[in-house]
């Protein structure tokens, strides 16, 4: 398949190069001709085991789509979409590029897909402590925790221990914020969550001790 080279930002390239240097990601390829202009790749196994690194991934949440970023920092390209299970209706890629959270048709919880060394999504594991749907979510910087926002529950759900051993840290009632869209942030240890509305309301800080600095609405 033909893949036209894309210019990656320095931030994406930096994170992607780190993934390659640790040997976490690679893809089997039949042929690879890389220049400053064009990359030609085929996803079949090479006769001599030729492999081109996967620098990272790009994803679209809805409709769900996951693509690998292939090549090298100075000659990178976005590959064609990877096959996802038909029951997946949404995908959110973690900042670590090691896994993604997915929503599923008739699912009772969120699912977790590992992105394996062959550059293909693995099986879906259940995140047993989670809601099946979130209107919004935000990962921590390293992807070890996530905060979900559900308008149906009028609450935030904080999950830690990702991706190996996810567990429910707490649920936070935010009914007083109404149905507004939120900006969310969470720390890697899941101990601190920050929420604010898009309208620029005073940010609300929630800590693992349960305290918050909820502003007065009067």
Domain ranges across the chain: 133-218
For Cα atoms 51, 38, 25, give the angle at the middle one, nearest 5 degrees.
30
**What is the pLDDT averaged over residues 76-87?**
90
Q: Which of 37-41, 87-91, 205-209 has the lowest mean pLDDT?
A: 37-41
Q: What is the pLDDT of residue 198?
A: 78
Q: What is the pLDDT of residue 4?
A: 35
3-state secondary structure the chain: CEEEECCCCHHHHHHHHHHHHCCCCCEECCCEEECCCEEEECCCCCCCCCEECEEEEEEECCCCEEEEEEEECCEEEECCCCCCCCCEEEEEECCCCCEEEEEECCCCCEEEEEECCCCCEEEEEEECCCCCCCCEEEECCCCCCEEEEECCCCEEEEEECCCCCCEEEEEEECHHHCCCCEEEEECCCCCEEEEEECCCCCCEEEECCCCECCCCCC
Cβ neighbour number for residue 149 with a 10 Å cutoff = 22
d(CA 169, CA 132): 17
Q: What is the pLDDT of residue 73?
A: 84
Reported as a single tens digit per residue, the pLDDT across 135-191 is: 999 999 999 999 999 999 999 999 999 999 999 999 999 888 777 889 999 999 999
- Whole-model pTM: value is 0.71
For CA atoms 106, 161, 134, 157, give the dihedral sign: positive
Q: What is the pLDDT of residue 200?
A: 66
């Amino acid at each position: 398949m033909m893949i036209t080279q894309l210019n990656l930002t320095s931030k994406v390239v930096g994170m992607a190069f780190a993934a390659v240097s640790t040997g976490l990601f690679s893809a089997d390829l039949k042929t690879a001709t890389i220049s400053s202009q064009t990359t030609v790749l085929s996803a079949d196994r090479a006769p001599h085991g030729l492999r081109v690194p996967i620098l990272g991934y790009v994803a679209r949440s809805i409709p769900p789509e996951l693509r690998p970023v292939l090549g090298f920092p100075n000659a990178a390209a976005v590959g064609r979409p990877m096959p996802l299970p038909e029951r997946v209706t949404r995908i959110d890629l973690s900042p670590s590029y090691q896994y993604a959270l997915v929503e599923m048709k008739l699912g009772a919880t969120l699912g977790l897909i590992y992105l394996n060394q062959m550059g293909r999504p693995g099986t879906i594991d259940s995140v047993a402590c989670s809601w099946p749907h979130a209107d919004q979510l935000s990962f921590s910087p390293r992807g070890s925790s996530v905060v979900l926002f559900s308008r149906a529950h009028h609450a935030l759900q904080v999950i830690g221990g990702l991706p190996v051993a996810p567990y429910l840290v707490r649920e936070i009632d935010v009914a007083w914020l109404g149905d507004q869209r939120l900006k969310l942030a969470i720390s890697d240890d899941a101990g601190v969550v920050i929420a604010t509305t898009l309208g620029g309301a005073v940010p609300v800080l929630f800590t693992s001790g349960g305290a918050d600095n909820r502003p007065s609405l009067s």
